[in-house]
Every structure is written in C-alpha cells, then in structure tokens.
Amino acid sequence: MRIEAKGIAAGYGSTPVLRNVDVIADAGQVIGLIGANGSGKTTLLRILANLREPDEGAVRYSGQTAAEIGARALARRISYLAQGGDVHWPMQVETLVALGRLPHRDDGHSLAHECAIVERAMMAADVLHLRDRTMSQISGGERMRILLARALAVEGEFLLADEPIAALDPLHQLQVMEMLHETARQGRGVIVVLHDLALASRFCDRLVLLAEGGVLVQGSPQEVLTDDNVKRAYGVDVVRGERDGVPYLVPWAPSRDNAG
Amino acid sequence: MTDAVPTRPAGGRIAISHATLVAGLSALVVVFFALSLAAGYAPLDLPQAASDVLHGRATLASLVLMELRLPRAILGALVGFSLGVTGAAMQGLLRNPLAEPGITGVSGAAALGAVIVFYFGLAGIVPIALPLGGVAGAIVATITLYGLAGQGASTTTLILAGVAVNSFSGALTSLALNLSPNPYAVTEIVFWLLGSLADRSMHYVWLVLPLMLAGWTLLVLSAPALDGLTLGEDTAQSLGFNLRRLRLMLIAGTALSVGSAVAVTGAVAFIGLVVPHLLRPLVAHRPGRLLLVSGLGGAALLLLADTLIRWLPVRPELKLGVVTAIIGAPFLFSLIYRLRRTT
C-alpha cells in the first residue's frame, strides 16, 4: 500500500499549522516525521491516519480516498498508536492487546485464529510473558510495548505511531525502534513521529522534516539532517560521529546565529 | 453473539465465563422478582392468586397480584435495568468510574422535566407527556454534560459539571414547588421526588416499556465502540468507530432509559454507580461487556431493595430512593477515597 498526501493544509481555529504539504509513504519503509514542538507532526500523522480531515488537500490510500474505502475497511489496513498511551481501565494485558482485533470482529475467523494473531503480536512486541498481568501492574516501558502489541494486532498494512518512545529510557527506546524497523522489514509501512534525531537518523529509511508551516525537506536521513536544516528547524547545532560505518548526530548547543 | 474482542476462555483473571455470569445474574433477577411479588402488607397466597388470574377469577387475591404486586415488580426490574445499563454506558463513554445518572445530574434534570409536566398538568391530558418530559430533561442534561466534560476531561471537571447540572435543575424544581398553587401539589411532587415504586399501575409499564427498550438497544449496540474507547478517542476512531454516531447513540440511549425511569419512579440514586463498579472485575474491565451485565445487576439490586423496604417494620414505608441513597452514599465515599490514592 502507498499513502499519498497532496496539498495538505491544516490548522486550529485561525492558527495555520501546515500548508501545502506533500508526503508519500510506501510499505516496507520506516518514515520519520520530525520537527520542533508545534511544527504539526501530530496533526499530519492524524491526517494521514484519517483521524481528522485536512482543511485543504487530500490523502489517498493506494489511490483511493478514505470515504471510498470505508471507515471499517481502512481501520483494518491502518493501525494507529496514539501519543501518551492512555489506558482507562485496568484491563488484563492480553485483553488490551486483543482490542486491536475490533476492526476484524465480523470477519468470521475462528477464535483460535484470532487468539493466534493476538499471541503473535504480543510475541513481536516481547510482552507475551506479561499476558496475565493487569495494566496497573506494569512499568512505563512495558506499557508502551503492550500498546505497540495492540497496534500490531490490527495487522494493518501501515503502522502510524505518535512519539512511541517519548517517555522511555534508552534501552526501551532502542527496543521499540528495533521493533518498528522489524515491522517495516516484514513488508508493512511505518510512519513514526520522533524527537530523537540520533534514533531518527539511525532507524528511519526516510525523514520528513516539518518547519516553518510545512515540509522543510524530506528524503534520506543524510539529505535531511544537514547542519543547516537542523539549525533552521530546531535552532540547535549538532555534533556528528560514526560508529560501525553508520553516521550519527547529537544536538549539542543552541545555535549562536538563528538567522537560518 | 460472538465476542468482538477475542479472548482465550482461560484468559480471564477471574475464571467465570461471560455466559455463566449473564445466566447467574438472570437467575438472580428471577428470584428477586418472585420475592418482590411475595412481599407486601396484605398477606397473599401467591399460587392461589396466580391460579385465579389464569382462570379469569376476579378475586381480591388476583386483583392485588395484577394491580399492585406485578406492576411494582416489573417496574422495579425495568428501572433497575435502565439505571444499571446507563451507569455502565456513561462510565464507558466518559471513561470515568464516577459517571452515573445521579451524580452527573441526568436523573435530576429528568426529574425536573417530569415536574414541569406535573406542574402544568400535562400528564392528565396526554399520559405519555410524563415520560417524555423526563426524557427531554435527560437529553438536555446529557448534552450539557458531554459539552462540559466530554472530551476526556478530568474527574474534577466531570463532577463539577454534574454539580452544576444538579444545582440548576434543583433550583428550577424548587421554583416549581415555590410557585405551586396548593400545598397538596407540593406534597405530591416532593413524595414523588423521593423515589418509589409503590402504587404504580400496569399503565406505567406500558407507558415506559417502549422508550426503555429503545434506549437499552441503543446502549447495548454501542458495546464494541466502548471497548475501543478504553484507549482514548483517537485510538477508538482508528479502530473504525464513528465517535459522533457513538455519542449520539449513547446520549439518546441514556436519555430514553433514565428519562422514562425517573419519570415513573422519581430519583433512585446510586444504582448506576454501585452495580457497574461491583461487576467490572467480573467482565475483565471491558466497558462493552459491562453493559448487559450491569443492566441485569441493576434489576436484581433494585428488586431486592424494593423487597427489603417492604419487609422492614418501618411505617410509613421507606421510599426506595431514600434507601438507595443511604446505602449508596458511603459507597461513593469509599470510591472517592480509593480514586484519591490512585490519581
């Protein structure tokens, strides 16, 4: 599947956030949406997931609009992992992951088939051992992996995740990024909102850098994360290095000249 | 009905299947229904009365059974089911264990709607005006509540919204009492407001049954969406649920159920709070599964409470609403205390 957004404009009330945004996302890749706070990353992700309508422009899923596909059919093809990870009732982990099967509830599959999918999702997110715990008994890192398992249980062609590693320690950040990378290697598309430039440059195949009310630049991490672009988008200078042939960068200090 | 969310049979923490739970609660409703029929001030030979009814003999026993006991028991079950299922639905929609028709002011506003109908004497002209007045009050309250505290607002906002709706409908109810032309009308309204199932004829059953059935259907149909809402509105929408339609279904379902329940019995508090809370662990904390179960639990609890007040040697008879409030309020205290520790 391909998600193609064209000429997207969106805002809140009279405040414009995005204008004239074109994005193409193909299956099999991890695409990172990056940019400073308030640059419209979540807004764009929600538009791509058909959770809100753009003020202008349109999103097509392999050429079809969301209305043509239908809400339930689209829900089977796109899974969405929301920011923050609210869980309002202290459900058992396995029950929570199984909520991901709700779009498939009339597909007529056997219970065994459905349970196998839930189990597979828990395995992929490495939470199978937590299946009998309740959500009130788990840590922050486990929580995000469980919610990731819930999103994987949809078995959509695309996974859209909003800041899935924001509240995690470095180990759990790496684990979640590796899971997203693995998900893309298995042929699904992944679009992920990220703040960590080092992880974005390392785990994403393509980056979309949002700044100044639209897409500043998009392309490979090397093309996007130049000193100049990072300075313009975030107002910071970076230091760079290389490990095992993979380049990395670390935000180091606020830029002296913000002329950009 | 196949389950929308696949769970292994042994996956539940508490090893009780949903079918067993529904069957058990249904049996409880039947038992308490029979107890309710047997409870009363005049001694009644139930089998004899039933046989008289079946053979069309118009004896005193058959009259007591058909005109007094049966409507009271049926209304008890209907009102209890309505309050239980609505409590569960509101808690699922607002994702808050304190959401309940009474606390959120929906019952109070429904009572106001019914009082207005009383006040202008509309019920005497068109009988259906009474439940419709209740439904109208409940609709206004539910929409106000959702507008103030809908989009995942905090418990504090929800409770404050409930206080506001309750105060306003309370003020207007007082105004109606204040302007009431004679003391008898005041007494009648006040006694009705206390909440009771006594002396309601079958006429009331036929009046509210269609409204309640429509309300229950709307609420129970929203079960899968309420499960999805566990993870917030964006996630529920991404799972294919139309949230605008869900809200409309729940607002209409709540208003129809609570509005018609309050219109015939007055305000019966806390059933919608206590029942879902007690049953939630038995349905693996799934808001969708809680609906039917809470309805049955509400019916059982209300029938039991209404039977107990007739067994108690207190005269005049305690009002049902007074008893549920006295039992329910300490429960609310403990719930608030526990929520305080977890948030």
- The domains located in chain A, with CATH, are 2-88+156-254 (3.40.50.300)
Using the CB atoms, write b or e for A226-249: b if 16+ within 10 Å: eeebbbbbbebebeeeeeeeeebb
Distance CA(B45)–CA(A218), nearest Å, equals 85
Residue of B5, B234, B285 lying closest to A102 (CB–CB)? B5
Instruction: Quickly name the fold that domain B18-342 has.
Output: ABC transporter involved in vitamin B12 uptake, BtuC (1.10.3470)
Integer angstrom CA distances of residue B163 from A52, B108, B109, B322: 33, 10, 12, 19
Subunit contact B152:A94, Cβ cutoff 8 A: no
Query: How far is A158 from A3, CA to CA, in rounded Å?
Result: 9
Of residues B232, B239, B280, nearest to A102 (C-beta): B239
What burial letters (b/e) apply to A28-47, b meaning 16+ CB within 10 Å? eebbbbbbbeebbbbbbbbb
Indicate if the pLDDT at residue A260 is higher than 70. Answer: no
Whether residues B240 and A75 touch (CB distance < 8 A) is answered with yes
d(CA B185, CA B199): 17
Tokens of A32: 């990172």
Whether A34 shows a pLDDT value over 80: the answer reads yes
Chain B CB contacts of A76 below 8 Å:
240
A residues 172-231 closer than 8 Å to B (CB)? none
CB contact A91 to B (< 8 Å): yes
Give the span between the Cα atoms of A127 and A118, in whole angstroms.
11
Residue with tokens 């929906």: B106
Candidate from B5, B224, B232 with C-beta closest to A95: B5
**What phi, psi does A188 have (nearest 5°)?**
-90, 165
Instruction: Supply the pLDDT for residue A94.
Output: 95
Q: Sign (positive/negative) of CA torsion A136, A137, A140, A142? A: negative
Contacts of B230 in chain A (CB under 8 A): 87-89, 91, 96, 99
B75 alpha carbon, distance to own chain's centre = 11
| Radius of gyration of chain A from its Cα atoms, rounded to whole angstroms | 19
B98 backbone dihedrals φ, ψ, rounded to 5°: -95, -5
The predicted structure's pLDDT at residue A52: 93
Measured between alpha carbons, how far is B17 from B4 in angstroms, rounded to an integer? 15
Buried residues in A185-209 as b, exposed as e (16+ CB within 10 A) = eeebbbbbbbbbbbbbbbbbebbbb
8 Å CB contact of A91 and B229: no
Q: Is B228 close to A102, i.e. CB distance below 8 A?
A: yes
List chain B pLDDT tens, one digit each, 343 residues.
Answer: 457 788 775 544 455 788 999 999 999 999 999 999 998 877 788 888 889 989 988 888 888 888 899 999 999 999 999 999 999 999 998 888 888 898 889 999 999 999 998 888 888 888 888 889 999 999 999 889 888 876 656 777 878 888 999 999 999 999 988 988 788 878 878 888 888 888 888 989 999 999 999 999 999 999 999 999 999 989 999 999 998 899 889 989 999 999 999 998 988 889 999 999 999 999 999 999 999 999 999 999 999 999 999 988 888 888 999 989 888 889 888 888 887 766 5
pLDDT in tens, A227-243: 999 999 999 999 999 88
Residue B85 corresponds to which amino acid? Answer: V
A99/B contact by beta carbon, under 8 A: yes
Element (H, E) at A62: none
Helix (H, G, I), strand (E, B) or coil at A192: strand
Instruction: Note whether A105 contacts B231, CB cutoff 8 Å.
Output: no
Among B230, B234, B241, select the one facing A88 at the smallest CB separation. Answer: B230
Where are any strands of DSSP class E within chain B?
none
Q: What is the pLDDT of residue B146?
A: 82
Predicted pLDDT at B127: 81
Largest CA-CA distance found in chain B, in angstroms, rounded: 64
* Res B150: pLDDT: 67
The pLDDT value given to residue B13: 47
What residue in B sits closest to A113 (Cα-Cα)?
B6
pLDDT at B191: 81
Alpha-carbon distances, residue B131 vs A200, B90, B102, B198 (angstroms) = 60, 20, 17, 17
CA distance A86 to A91: 12
The answer, for A152 touching chain B at a CB cutoff of 8 Å, is: no
**3-state SS string for A119-138:** HHHHHHCCCHHHCCCEHHHC
Res A245: pLDDT: 82
Residue located via tokens 């095992």: A244
Q: Which of A51, A74, A101 lies nearest to residue B5, judging by beta carbons? A: A101
Helix (H) or strand (E) holding A42: helix A41-48
Q: Which residues of B touch A72 (CB under 8 A)?
A: 240
Mutate to test the interface with B, among A88, A109, A152, A191 (most CBs of B within 10 A): A88
Triad B246, B25, B249: Cα angle to 5° = 10
The pLDDT value recorded for residue B181 is: 79
A95 in B contact zone (CB under 8 Å): yes
Concatenating the DSSP letter of every residue in B115-180 gives: HHHHHTTHHHH-TTHHHHHHHHHHHHHHHHHHHHH-SS--HHHHHHHHHHHHHHHHHHHHHHHHT-
